[in-house]
Structure 1
Amino acid sequence: MGHTDVPGLDLDRFRDFFERACPGVVDGPLRARLIEGGKSNLTYEVADSQNSWIVRRPPLGHVLATAHDMSREHRVMAALHATDVPVPATYALCDDPDVIGAPFYVMERVEGTAYRHAAELERLGPEQTAAISARMVDTLATLHRVDPVAVGLSEYGRPEGFLARQVRRWQKQLDASRSRELAGADELHESLAARLPVEGVPAVVHGDFRLDNLLVEGNEVAAVIDWEMATVGDPLTDVALLLVYQRMAVPGTASAVTNASTAPGFLTDAEMLNRYADKSARDLSAIGFYLGLAHFKLAVILEGIHYRYIHGQTVGAGFDTVGAMVEPLIAAGLTSMKEQN
């Protein structure tokens, strides 16, 4: 597996740190491979003769202060490990950027598949697909039942005024990347600002919960991964974002982040909402607001990518179509504001 040298992970320096942090765990020479690279945090598998671990660090060449990201991910997983939420065990956090060039942490390698494409689920058949999508919803409800204070995460986010801050934050982001008129953007923002619901009991919010951020083994969720957006706040933001990702997975459109939800047997939006409401005992009557906010957030993120693309700041292919996805998302956001469960 892999080499002794991988970009962004000096194995000799890593070994020195890991052996001090966890004496006696490393047996024999280490080798590593990059599992996932790109614009978010880098993920490596590191192995000796007996065991393997997962290492996460910020992207190469990232100039922002990212020590925060690593410690946030590590802290939330460590806090959740004693709960019913399936998360990898964490072994060590290194805040010192001098060891490998950036902060990083080490966690358990969990067996499982991150399903991203409908074709992967179609091979399993509709019954197993239904079971997996049901377990995904159950896992989200399990996460949202955790008391952030009881697991030591009371200082992890600022739940008071969470939704109002979210609306302001994404409007500010949009203002920072305005290069054109966007039909409906002001109307959606004003509608969100005017219709802030009473927030429910705060919960640990994953921030990017979808099937390809879960490791599935058989029909069970073996681990929830990619906690870099996690906070403490209103859990219905997770529910709405999950549904919007699925609505973007319409066959024949270029807008899908993941299209797994189009596989036969996958729970419908209504089935998911009803199952979540049943498992979480949360009131979903204001789900329209949360869907509007989720559409707004994704539209703003995509407009930021479009802005960087037209200013020649993106690397690689596929960015030329992003701009065309923004106004349809805004329109869908305005429509979804009327929904109720």
Structure 2
Amino acid sequence: MAPPRPYAEPLTPANLPDEVRALLDATPLDEPLRQGRTSRVAFALDASGNPIVLKRSIGPHLEVIRREHRALYSLSPLGVSAPEPLLYLERPGSFGLEGWLVTRRLPGTTLEEALSAEPDRDRRTSLLTDFGAALARLHATPPRPGFGHPDWLENVLGVAHRLQPAADAARIEQLRLERPVPVVPSLIHGDVFLDNVMVAGGRVTGLIDWAFADVGDPRYDVAVATHELTRSELEAFVEGYGPAARLSAEEAAYFVELALLF
């Protein structure tokens, strides 16, 4: 889906809200070449020289940045490896109501990039094992009371329909009917593709893009995290996560299809 027109416009100091601009030093904004579909992102430094991330979303994607804001503020006291939220605001803009989120920037590069650049098999294995362990720690973290939706799967299907109106409604209904036998729900990230995992020094430093965090089926995270891994890479991940990461082919296919609705 092509991004709305405002997402093609760079973020500059001139188009930042005053509250956001007040946090920054004089260093120019740095926008990554790869932008997301639901927000415009820029990297910057705060007044003390610490790296931070700016996000702006508008229109139907305002729901996404609102969700991430709520999730980060709820997760922050839990010690979860997530960016610290610094500021959230909404204001009228040229293209309608827009949301702005400012967080600390986690160190490192994405696991996707790190694996692509790492030729050493042992170091790749170590990265994936650490990733599995990090995801297991998240799933073992008790959520704050009141966080999450009573019916996680129903909420996911509803969000997918709102964000992707052109999605096949019949297939969404079929996914509703084909839901796997439930397991004990846990705190989940909800979007744990390899480009949302940050690593530095051979270790996972945290996860980014928490808009779909919830209390839901941990198999969803595992399926998304591992669906592009080779057999040996999956074994490395399982070593860190534990045997519960061994999903059936049917479970893995179901949860990956669910994730790809977005």
TM-score by length of 1: 0.60
Change beyond 3 A, Cα 1:63–1:222: same
* 1:147 paired residue number: 142
Please state how far the C-alpha of 1:30 moved relative to its aligned partner: 4.8
* 2:128 paired residue number: 133
Q: Does 1:196 align with 2:192?
A: no
**Counterpart of 1:228 in 2: which secondary structure?**
coil
- Select the residue among 140, 155, 158 that pairs with 2:149: 158
* 1:74 paired residue number: 69
Q: Does 1:89 align with 2:84?
A: yes
Higher relative contact order (CA 8 A, sep 6+): 2
CA deviations on 1:267-310 (whole Å, 9 max, x unpaired) are: 533453454236xxxx5687455313124325656xxxxxxxxx
* 1:7 paired residue number: 9
Change beyond 3 A, Cα 1:267–1:222: farther
CA deviations on 1:204-230 (whole Å, 9 max, x unpaired) are: 221221322111111111121122332
CA deviations on 1:3-27 (whole Å, 9 max, x unpaired) are: xxx935341463621366xxxx545
* 1:290 paired residue number: 251
Q: Does 1:32 align with 2:22?
A: no
- Select the residue among 187, 199, 208 that pairs with 1:216: 199
Change beyond 3 A, Cα 1:33–1:168: closer
Distance 2:47 2:103 in 1: 17
CA contact (8 A) 2:129 2:239 kept: no
Q: Does 1:104 align with 2:106?
A: no
CA contact (8 A) 1:57 1:103 kept: yes
Change beyond 3 A, Cα 1:269–1:193: farther
Which residue identity is paired with 2:28?
Answer: R
Which residue identity is paired with 1:197?
Answer: V
* 1:41 paired residue number: 39
**Counterpart of 2:41 in 1: which secondary structure?**
strand
**Counterpart of 1:204 in 2: which secondary structure?**
strand
Change beyond 3 A, Cα 1:163–1:103: closer
Change beyond 3 A, Cα 1:39–1:195: closer
Could you tell me which runs of 5 or more consecutive residues in structure 2 were left unpaired when the two chains were aligned: 1-7
Distance 1:69 1:170 in 2: 11
**Counterpart of 1:57 in 2: which secondary structure?**
strand
Which residue identity is paired with 2:54?
Answer: V
Distance 1:287 1:173 in 2: 29
Percent of paired sites with the same residue: 20
Change beyond 3 A, Cα 1:145–1:10: same
CA contact (8 A) 1:112 1:222 kept: yes
* 1:258 paired residue number: none
TM-score by length of 2: 0.75
Give the paired residue count: 251
Distance 2:200 2:144 in 1: 30
Could you tell me which runs of 5 or more consecutive residues in structure 1 were left unpaired when the two chains were aligned: 1-5, 179-184, 247-260, 302-341
CA contact (8 A) 1:71 1:95 kept: no
* 1:268 paired residue number: 233
Change beyond 3 A, Cα 1:98–1:194: closer
Distance 2:153 2:11 in 1: 38
Q: Which has the larger radius of gyration?
A: 1
Distance 2:20 2:159 in 1: 38
